[in-house]
Amino acid sequence: MKPLIEKLTSTFSPSGYEDAIRDVIRKEIKEFADEIRVDALGNLIARKGKGGTRVMVAAHMDEIGLMATHVDEKGFVRFTGIGGVYPRNLPGGRVRFVNGRRGVIGLDGGVFSNDLPPLDKMFIDVGASSKSDCPIKTGDVAAFERPFLDLGDRLVAKSMDDRIGCAVAIESLRALKSTSNEVYFVFTTQEEVGTRGAQTSAYGVDPDLGFSIDVTSWGDTPGQRDFDVALGKGPAIKIRDGGMLSDPRIVEWMIGAAEKNKIPYQREVLLGGTTDARAMQLVRGGIPVGCVSIPCRYVHSPSEMVDYNDVQNAVELITTLLRAPVKLSLAGK
Amino acid sequence: MANKTPAVGAAQFKLLEKLCNAVGVSGGESEVRKIVLDEIKSSVDEVKVDALGNVLATQKGRGAKRLRVMLDAHMDEVGFMLVADDSEGLYRFKIIGGIDPRNLVGKQVVVGKENRPGVIGAKPIHHTTPDERKKVLAEDSLRVDLGPESKIKVGERGTFAPNFQRFGPSLMSKSLDNRLGVATLIELLKVSYPNIDLCAAFTVQEEIGLRGAKVAAQYFKPDLAIVIDATPANDLPMQYEAENVFYNTKLGLGPAIYVSNSSTFDDPRLIRFIQNAAQNAKIPHQIRQPGGGGTDAGGIQRVGVGVPVVSVSVPHRYTHSAMSLSRIEDWKNTLVLLHTALRQVTPSLLKR
């Protein structure tokens, strides 16, 4: 599975510009899905099985990035963020535009200062010397460039958020030889700018229930507090986050499957942030949802770290969940 | 209906003046709606006013395979609502939409259904201290002064007084945002586009959260949508000859094509399509700098199974104030660009 993770994290597709990653994923899944389609917002929707409970599984394809706002007279590219881009993760970093051009991020006034300027006091140097020889135009988009790093159990890359979720979804689809349910694996667009693709794809799929696969924060490095999720202790079953309360029946279903099959898991109570499940929950007449999270250190930096065992256990948990007929108990509702 | 290229001449200036001088603060758009209904009735196949007050008109095409193309322009403008009667014709108010309170002081306004004149005043320089003059007068400390015989009731809306002017290459008025868009859409409807089903939405309540557009998109269920709006030009030169790198758009460079703002990432296929249409016909155009702000595109894009969207705006300075300013050429080029693009719409546009 490591080559797949490397391939997915080496693809450049910021929010709204998911063409490249969609092509990669489509190739990976086309022999395993019963039907594949792309909707108006670019979501890639793959169906497996027919006739049972309709389950939507969402992993977002997009990644955070940058968008050019202006090229100045000397050829420096001013930019704004796409999604949650933090100034401290940028200086000295390298980026790659969707048109292939690379560049490095510089600061107004140079680097010999401890002050951290806002994004509008930074620029991308693509090696141009004037506006006319700069290959970048206002509106062009870029993503971070950073090589994939295999540290054994731990894997580091840009865009683990949420290509690791895409990898888990792809592997789960492949492992799911048959299912009694009608499962829709949806590789969504524009999650980082407001779970937008999930909203329209959930409307189109109209599932009975669903969950997202996404990264979550971590609590196991110096200075991190009050978050009981660590790398290597299993996928995290979300109970709540900043935008969604998981349906208790979904949480029960997931924990039951993990315990019965002795798959390690963690209980996740996240205060900030949210995932595609939030948008799914609120479409049409409302949908019961939850989320399987992959613990991930240094989220929204160019070097996001996950544990390979958590990833494999997430695949096992999800295939276990999807194989047998899904029936939510109405007890307690 | 002749298949002609729309032009900007005396009739169009007259229509724009009428639209700009009409008052249509969000939620109270009826004066603008009446003008729109009157202007479009002879050039559309169907028209209705929906529950929220949107004007929804359809012009059917004739081709075999045609896309449903929604064109959207919001009718409403920013303003205020009276919230308390302080007697003697003085009223407290709350801003509707986004107005910088610094743009309120000393402005002539009109209030209520009969557009009664009034003023938002402040203590004159004779009676203020230097310290007082450094402070911004907040909305709460200002009053609308309508005089003691106004008979205006709390809950009525008002906005800056009508003041349309055309001089040389420029247009000046309150509410160029978005009467420029409304006028553009009316002119487009006077032409016919047999290759598409044109779904025209003149929407309400854009300035307070893109509300009318969401409902309009649910009604039309279009294959794609183009939003016509007016966008700020923050293009004055910087001091000390530094380069202005945050201008949003510039006057005189033509219609502004959106790529992203806080409400939408515009569809890359539609961005390219509009750009190509402009380049091939040598119509001046510019890319609006990505950044904040929003248009009805954000309301439309995520309705139902989703709608590919793009926005095209007329740049204008000093928006959401008593008087903004735009160039006639930019408006004309916006109209011609949209006309040129619409004629080229085919189903293959949405191929991935």
B245 closest CB neighbour out of A72, A82, A137: A72
- Total number of residues shown for chain A: 333
- ipTM of the shown complex: 0.87
Q: In whole angstroms, what separates CA B282 from the centre of its chain?
A: 25
Radius of gyration of chain B (CA): 21
Place of tokens 């190509």: B276
Pick among 2.40.30.40, 3.40.50.1100, 3.40.50.970, 3.40.50.800: CATH of B79-160: 2.40.30.40
Tokens for B214, please give them. Answer: 């969401």
Q: Which residues contact B138 (CB under 8 A, 6 or more apart)?
A: B101
Place of tokens 């200075």: A223
Structural domains in chain A, sorted by start: 2-63+158-323 (3.40.630.10), 71-145 (2.40.30.40)
pLDDT in the model for residue B3: 58
Q: Confidence class of residue A240 from pLDDT cuts 50, 70 and 90?
A: very high
CA distance B71 to chain A (A): 17
Query: How many other CB atoms are found less than 10 A from the CB of residue A330?
Result: 7
Does B248 touch chain A if contact means CB atoms closer than 8 Å?
no
Q: How far is CA A256 from CA A28, A95, A178, A179, A229, in A?
A: 30, 43, 21, 19, 19
Q: Which residue of B has its CA nearest to A98?
A: B268
Kindly report, residue by residue over A271-322, the tens digit of the pLDDT.
Answer: 999 999 999 999 999 999 999 999 999 999 999 999 999 999 999 999 999 9
Query: How many other CB atoms are found less than 10 A from the CB of residue B196?
Result: 25
CA distance B291 to chain A (A): 7
Please tell me if the domain spanning B10-77+163-350 has the same topology as the one spanning B79-160: no
Tokens for A58, please give them. Answer: 């969402």
pLDDT in the model for residue B64: 85
Q: Confidence class of residue A330 from pLDDT cuts 50, 70 and 90?
A: low
Provide the residue ranges of all domains of chain B, joining segments of one domain with +. Answer: 10-77+163-350, 79-160
Inter-chain residue contact A38 with B352, CB threshold 8 Å: yes
B287 closest CB neighbour out of A19, A80, A138: A138
Partners of A199 on chain B (C-beta within 8 Å) are 302, 306
Does B231 touch chain A if contact means CB atoms closer than 8 Å?
no
CA distance A6 to chain B (A): 25
Mutating which of A140, A200, A201, A276 best tests the B interface, going by the most B Cβ atoms within 10 A? A200
Kindly report, residue by residue over A227-236, the tens digit of the pLDDT.
Answer: 999 999 999 9
Q: What is the mean pLDDT of each run of 10 residues along chain B (352 residues)?
A: 77 98 97 98 97 97 93 98 95 96 95 95 90 91 92 95 97 98 97 95 97 97 98 86 87 97 95 98 97 94 97 97 98 98 96 90
pLDDT in the model for residue B352: 87
- Total number of residues shown for chain B: 352
HSE at residue A130, side-chain half, CA atoms within 13 A, is: 2
Q: Which of A164, A165, A186, A185 is nearest to A174 (CA)?
A: A185
Inter-chain residue contact A69 with B246, CB threshold 8 Å: yes
Q: Which residues of A20-53 are buried (b: 16+ CB within 10 A; e: fewer)?
A: ebbebbeebbeebbeeeebbbbbbbbbbbbeebb
Q: Which residues contact B68 (CB under 8 A, 6 or more apart)?
A: B196, B197, B199, B220, B221, B222, B223, B224
pLDDT in the model for residue B117: 96
Does B301 touch chain A if contact means CB atoms closer than 8 Å?
yes
Overall average pLDDT of the A47-73 stretch: 96
Tokens for B310, please give them. Answer: 């793009």
pLDDT in the model for residue A112: 73
> CATH classification of B10-77+163-350 is 3.40.630.10, yes or no?
yes
pLDDT in the model for residue A331: 44
CA distance A146 to chain B (A): 25
Inter-chain residue contact A70 with B271, CB threshold 8 Å: no
Does B243 touch chain A if contact means CB atoms closer than 8 Å?
yes
Cβ pair A11, A21 in contact under 8 A: yes
B265 closest CB neighbour out of A68, A80, A193: A193
Q: Which of B17, B77, B206, B207 is catalytic?
A: B206
Inter-chain residue contact B290 with A204, CB threshold 8 Å: no
Overall average pLDDT of the A8-17 stretch: 97
Kindly report, residue by residue over A135-182, the tens digit of the pLDDT.
Answer: 999 999 999 999 999 999 999 999 999 999 999 999 999 999 999 999
A40 closest CB neighbour out of B259, B266, B306: B306
CA distance A72 to chain B (A): 7
